Amino acid sequence: MKRTILSAAIALISGVAAIGAAIAADDEPIQPIRPAANINLGMVELGKKLYFDPRLSKSGFISCNSCHNLSMGGTDNIPTSIGDKWQEGPINSPTVLNSSLNLAQFWDGRAADLKEQAAGPIANPGEMAFTHTLALGVIESIPAYVREFKQVFGKDKITIDEVTAAIAEFEKTLVTPNSRFDQWLLGNKEALTKKELDGYKLFKDSGCIACHNGEAIGGNSFQKMGIVEPYKGKMPDGRAAVTGDDADRFNFKVPTLRNVELTYPYFHDGAANTLTEAVDIMGRLQLGKKFTKDENAKVVAFLKTLTGDQPSFTLPILPPSTDKTPRPTPFGK
């Protein structure tokens, strides 16, 4: 992806006024979450098994759900995730919920879509620490998987493309509609309290809406962390992977605010433990605004209305291993 594409995606705070002027009086800059559509149910069921299957990791203990736990808002609620051999990762795990709405995947946007993203952790030595070849060997050694792949894709040969396509199809179903804020957007004017509505007005008037807008309330642009004041937390040492350009260092994909009360700690380094702390930091660093205690509480109250219906499904029964299934490497070795 060329630098010009990323630059076009970056919404500068100086453009807040222009964005506000472009929004019609009766329109809202945030849209309700829509249920997943055009889903291949066979791929979803296969992808669900793969998402929860730790045998796709070198240790046999780490699955996609380890870092993107669907009972914890699609995250792991720790600053940076723990990978193979108890390695501490360099960056916070973003939520997988509503991730299909992102313009790109990972904090630096280096994966264009969910399918490309799903291939990364399997072969990352600091995460699942396997290789695609070895992961495919595990899958091919399990007859139930072989049959299911044949049923879903109509092919005898299994490749990493089919594996990641199935995982991505399952992840597309992980949307969270029907938040109280969505109910308000859809006409139920009693869904929010006065304090929550005051918080939404502050959210818009202060400029938060310039980056946190659309259906996901984020995920559709990149921003530098520390526009007005420099960020004093951890910053990755390197260039933006999207462009490889030094000018794009410290630019991150704006995270979704959907279900944000569940996805603590916050920011790329997990440095903010509470929404109160996160609102204070973002106000000062990104907007040059110091929220009062009362204003902060109102914004936080609004943010808590963004929690939608969490994905509901039956946990998969993973197909059994056979004598030919490769044995995993012990987790601590």
Question: Quick check: 177 and 308 in contact, CB under 8 A?
Answer: yes
Rounded CA-CA distance 291/279 in Å is 8
Q: Are residues 90 and 166 in the same domain?
A: yes
Tell me what pLDDT residue 249 has: 73
Q: Do 64 and 145 belong to one domain? A: yes
Residue 28 located in a structural domain:
no
More confident residue, 240 or 117: 117
Instruction: Check residues 293 and 327 and name the one with the higher pLDDT.
Output: 293
Residues 6+ apart with CB under 8 A from 189: none
3-state helix, strand, coil in the chain (%, to 5): 40, 5, 55
The DSSP element (H or E) to which 120 belongs, if any, is: helix 114-123
Q: Quick one: pLDDT band at residue 18, thresholds 50, 70, 90?
A: very low
Same structural domain, 193 and 295: yes
Residue 96 lies in a domain: yes
Identify the domain containing residue 156 by its residue range: 41-172
Give domain status of residue 333, yes or no.
no
- 266 and 163 part of one domain: no
Q: Is residue 281 in a domain?
A: yes
Question: Is residue 36 a part of any domain in this protein?
Answer: no
For a pLDDT cut of 70, what percent of the chain falls above it? 88
Q: Are residues 186 and 297 in the same domain?
A: yes
Q: Based on the domain organization, do 206 and 141 belong to the same domain? A: no
Tell me if 322 is assigned to some domain: no
Name the average pLDDT for the chain.
89
Whether 186 and 166 map to the same domain: the answer is no
Cis omega (within 30 of 0) for bond into 320? no
Are residues 300 and 185 located together in one domain of the fold?
yes
Residues 168 and 49 in one domain: yes
Tell me the C-alpha to C-alpha distance, in Å, between residue 42 and each of 16, 127, 138, 152, 166: 44, 28, 21, 6, 9
List helix spans (H) across 206-326: 275-282, 293-303
Q: Which residues of 93-128 are buried (b: 16+ CB within 10 A; e: fewer)?
A: bbbbbbbbbbbbbbbbbbbeebbebbbebbbeeebb
Out of 135, 151, 172, pick the residue that ends a domain: 172
Domain of residue 219, CATH code: 1.10.760.10
Closest by CA to 23, choosing from 33, 13, 31, is 31
Per-residue pLDDT at 130 exceeds 50? yes
19 within a domain of the structure (yes/no): no
- Amino acid residing at 126: G
Residue at a domain's end among 152, 172, 192: 172
Report yes or no on 165 lying in a domain: yes
Count structural domains, the chain.
Answer: 2
pTM of the model: 0.89
C-alpha torsion sign, points 317, 96, 70, 90: positive
Q: What is the dihedral of CA 248, 253, 103, 112, to 10 degrees?
A: 60
Task: Tell me how far apart the alpha carbons of residues 177 and 322 are, in angstroms, rounded to a whole number.
Answer: 40
Residues classed as catalytic: 127
Query: What are the distances in angstroms from CA 89 to CA 66, 83, 92, 125, 327?
Result: 13, 7, 8, 10, 25
Question: Read out DSSP for 134-185?
Answer: HHHHHHHT-HHHHHHHHHHH--SS--HHHHHHHHHHHHHT------HHHHHH
168, 196: one domain: no
Residue-wise pLDDT tens digits, 220-239: 999 999 999 998 887 765 54
Q: Cα separations (Å) of 60 from 96, 129, 287?
A: 22, 10, 45
Residue ending a domain, among 111, 143, 172, is 172
- For residues 132 and 250, membership in a common domain is answered with no
Terminal Cα-to-Cα distance of the chain (whole angstroms): 38
pLDDT value for 14: 34
Query: Judging by DSSP bridges, how do beta strands 251-253 and 222-224 pair with one another?
Result: antiparallel
Q: How many CA atoms lie within 13 A of 276 on its CB side?
A: 4
What residues contact 54, with CB distance under 8 A and at least 6 apart? Answer: 60, 61, 62, 63, 66
What pLDDT is stored for residue 263 in this prediction? 98
According to the model, what pLDDT value does residue 192 have? 98
* 194 & 214 share domain: yes
The 10 Å Cβ neighbour count of residue 273 is 12
What pLDDT is attached to residue 327? 77
